[in-house]
């Protein structure tokens, strides 16, 4: 069982990007994994916001099924209230 911190209050609160901004203040992100479906179902504005927030990290996209196979190896999970499709990400420290 993976330890989970549930921050979700209501839909959209907090967002993945808000959680990421807070985490990055105390965590050096070296690598990020996301589902490639994120790129196909979200618009330019959303993709740009995520790219900006992840600047400096090596971001890799893979099919969602492969992404899900990584989850059991995680140290912990943070659940947000975000409703952006496929916004989940796996952060790897540098």
The predicted-structure confidence for 75-87, as pLDDT tens digits, reads as follows: 999 999 999 999 9
Q: 60: which 2 tokens? A: 């890799």
CATH number at residue 68: 3.40.1650.10
Q: Could you give the CA distance from residue 38 to residue 82 in angstroms, rounded to a whole number?
A: 13
Give this prediction's pTM: 0.92
12-66 pLDDT tens trace? 999 999 999 999 999 999 999 999 999 999 999 999 999 999 999 999 999 999 9
CA 8 to chain centre: 14
Tell me which residue range forms the domain holding 34: 3-93
Q: How many domains does the chain have?
A: 1
Q: What share of the chain is helix, strand, coil (3-state, %, to 5)?
A: 35, 30, 35
């Amino acid at each position: 069982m993976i330890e989970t911190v549930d921050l979700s209050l209501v839909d959209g609160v907090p967002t993945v990007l808000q959680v990421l901004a807070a985490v990055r203040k105390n965590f050096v992100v070296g690598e990020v994994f996301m589902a490639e479906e994120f790129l196909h179902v979200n618009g330019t504005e959303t993709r740009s916001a995520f790219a900006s927030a992840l600047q400096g990290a090596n971001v890799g996209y893979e099919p969602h099924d492969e992404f899900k196979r990584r989850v059991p190896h995680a140290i912990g999970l943070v659940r947000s209230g975000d409703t952006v499709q496929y916004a989940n990400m796996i952060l790897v420290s540098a």
